[in-house]
Amino acid sequence: MKVVELLKIGKELLKMMSENDVKRDDYKFVKMYQEYLAMRKNGVKYRAVIQMLSEEYHTSKASIERAIRRLGKDC
């Protein structure tokens, strides 16, 4: 399969994702976002959640916060 064929198949979805500021690597953060929601629901403070996720996913706190903002916004 050629790249162009793959783009043709997913054209509408890719367009919608692009229009809504979904980054191509955001799929990597879906599990992390679900963990974030569960911890917040259980009363863990925001900064503590960010710290734990940063350590667990070996990612900077700023990257975690940006991903949470992107994944949590309405589209």
**pLDDT number for residue 29:** 93
Cβ proximity of 13 and 51 under 8 Å: no
pTM of the model: 0.82
Which residues contact residue 49 at a Cβ distance below 8 angstroms, ignoring those fewer than 6 apart? 36, 39, 40
Report the C-alpha gap between 9 and 7 in whole angstroms: 5
List the Cα angle 23/36/49 in 5-degree steps: 115
Q: Is the pLDDT of residue 46 over 90?
A: yes
Q: Is the pLDDT of residue 65 over 90?
A: yes
3-class SS of residue 52: helix
Q: Is the pLDDT of residue 24 over 90?
A: no
